[in-house]
Amino acid sequence: MRTTADAVVVGAGVVGAAVLYELTARGVDAVLIERGAPNRQGSGTTAGNLHIQAIHSGRPEQSIPVDTAGLVPFQAQASILWRGLEERLGRELDITVGGGLTVAETAEQLERLREKASWEAAAGIPTEILDGAAARERVPELSADVLAATWCPWDGWANNLVVTPAYLEEARKRGARVYTHSPVDRIERTASGWTVESTAVTVDTPIVIDAAGPWLDRVAVMAGIELRLAPLAIQMLESVRIPRRLNHLVQHIGEGLSVKQVGSGSIVIGGGWPAAHLALGGISPVSPDSVAGNIAQVRRVLPGLAGTRLSRAWAGPLAATPDEMPVVGAVGGAPGFHIVGGTYAFTFSPLWAHAIADDIAGAAPIADVSAFSPTRLLATAPIGA
C-alpha cells in the first residue's frame, strides 16, 4: 500500500508515541511505523524513573560523564509536563510523584550534592540537603553510613507499560495511522521530501522523525545519514512483592543506583548496570557480575531491604550517544529528517516530543534544544547534502 502523510515517525517506544501524539495535537497528519510490537524494547524495559533532580554523572563502566548541569533546566521542564500528562491525555497513567533522595556516603560526594543543589535552585527545582539522620527519617531503610542526601519532592516514576499505549491510543483518536510489525527497509530522499518503505506501507512525506531508540543509527543510515551512536544493554532487577517499605525513589550521587517500591509491592532496582552484551536482534542477556554488584550496592545503601528475594532480572537496550547526551532535532544537510532519543529518554520524552512537534509545526519552541542537535554526531555529511 502506498500513501502520503505530513510526517512519518519511526519507532513506537515512549518517545515515538509521544512525538506522534504531539504532532496530531497540532493537526499534523502523521504515520507511525514500528518494526515489532509497540513498547517492547528500550522504553518498555526501563525502570520508568522520572529523574527530576540532577542524575548521577555515570553508569557503571561509563567512560564519559553526563553533563548533569546542562540537563537540569530540561529536567525541570519535563517535570511540569509529566505532572500535567494525565489531564492532557484524559486518563490515569500510574504516575507516582512521591519525591526522591539522592544519597552521599563521603565528604567528596557531599560536595557534589551541594553543587548540584545550586544548579537545581537556579532551574527552579526544589531540593533540600538533609543530613544523614534526616534522610533516615524519610527512608528508615537507609544505612547509617549515608552522610547526607538531597530531597526533591518532584522525583518519581511512571508505569512504562501504561504511558506508551496511552499516547498511541490518543494519537489514533486524532487520526494517526500506526503500522506495527512492519520493519522499515528503505528511506529515500525525493524532490519533495522522503519516501519511507516498510513491509506494510510505503509513505511519501516531507518529514521523517527517527525515534527508533537503540536503532537510531540503523534507521538514519537508510536515509544516507551516518550517525555515531553507542547503544548498549542495561539491566534491571525486581523483587518479590513485599509489604510497603519504601515510599520514595532512592538514588546515589556517585554510583549507578536507583531503587523504588512500585504499586504492586515489588522493589525495582536499576542504575544503568551493563548487561552481558547488546543483542539488537534478540534478547540481551543479563550479567551475573552486574547483578551481584547491583545487589551489593542495595545491601550497603539500604540494609533495611536486605533479605528481600529477587523474582527476576532482565536487560533492555539503551540508545546512548558517544557524549552521553540526548539527541534532539533536525539533521543538518538532510532537510526534513529529525532524530530524537538518547540519555534518560524516558524522563525527557514529553519534552523532546513537544520540542520536535513545535519545530515541525512552526510553533514557538517550548525549549532550546540546539545543544542536542544530531548534526554533532554525524560521521560524514549526509548523502545528497
Q: Are residues 225 and 236 in the same domain?
A: no
- By DSSP bridging, strand 148-152 and strand 266-270 are unpaired
Can you tell me the mean pLDDT for 99-112? Answer: 96
Looking at the fold, whether 147 and 238 belong to one and the same domain comes out as yes
Q: How far is CA 276 from the centre of its chain?
A: 21
Closest CA to 93 of 346, 328, 269, 271: 346
Same domain for 240 and 196: no
Please indicate, yes or no, whether residues 36 and 168 belong to a single structural domain of this protein.
yes
Residue 244 shares a structural domain with residue 108: yes
| Residue 22 neighbours by CB distance under 10 Å | 24
- Does residue 65 lie in a domain region? no
The CATH number that applies at residue 244 is: 3.30.9.10
% of the chain with per-residue pLDDT over 90? 83
| The pLDDT of residue 44 | 65
Domain holding 33, by residue range, is 2-44+161-229+323-377
Quote the cell numbers at residue 334.
Answer: 538532510
pTM of the predicted structure, to 2 decimals: 0.95
DSSP assignments along 252-287, one per residue? ESSS--EEEE-TTSEEEEES--B-S---TTSPPPP-
Is residue 288 a part of any domain in this protein? yes
Q: Are residues 292 and 347 in the same domain?
A: no
Is the same domain home to 147 and 276?
Answer: yes
- 14 occurs within a structural domain: yes
CA distance 107 to 42: 35
Domain total of the chain: 2
Determine the Cα–Cα distance for residues 22 and 349; give it in Å rounded to an integer: 11
Domain assignment present for 6: yes
- Arithmetic mean of pLDDT over the chain: 94
Q: What is the pLDDT of residue 381?
A: 79
Of 274, 292, 318, the residue at which a domain comes to its end is: 318
pLDDT over 80 at 8, yes or no: yes
* Same-domain pairing of 257 and 314: yes
pLDDT in tens, 302-351: 999 988 999 999 998 888 899 999 999 999 999 999 999 998 999 999 99
For 10-64, what is each residue's pLDDT tens digit?
A: 999 999 999 999 999 999 999 999 999 887 776 666 778 999 998 887 777 777 8
Question: SS3 of 235, please?
Answer: strand
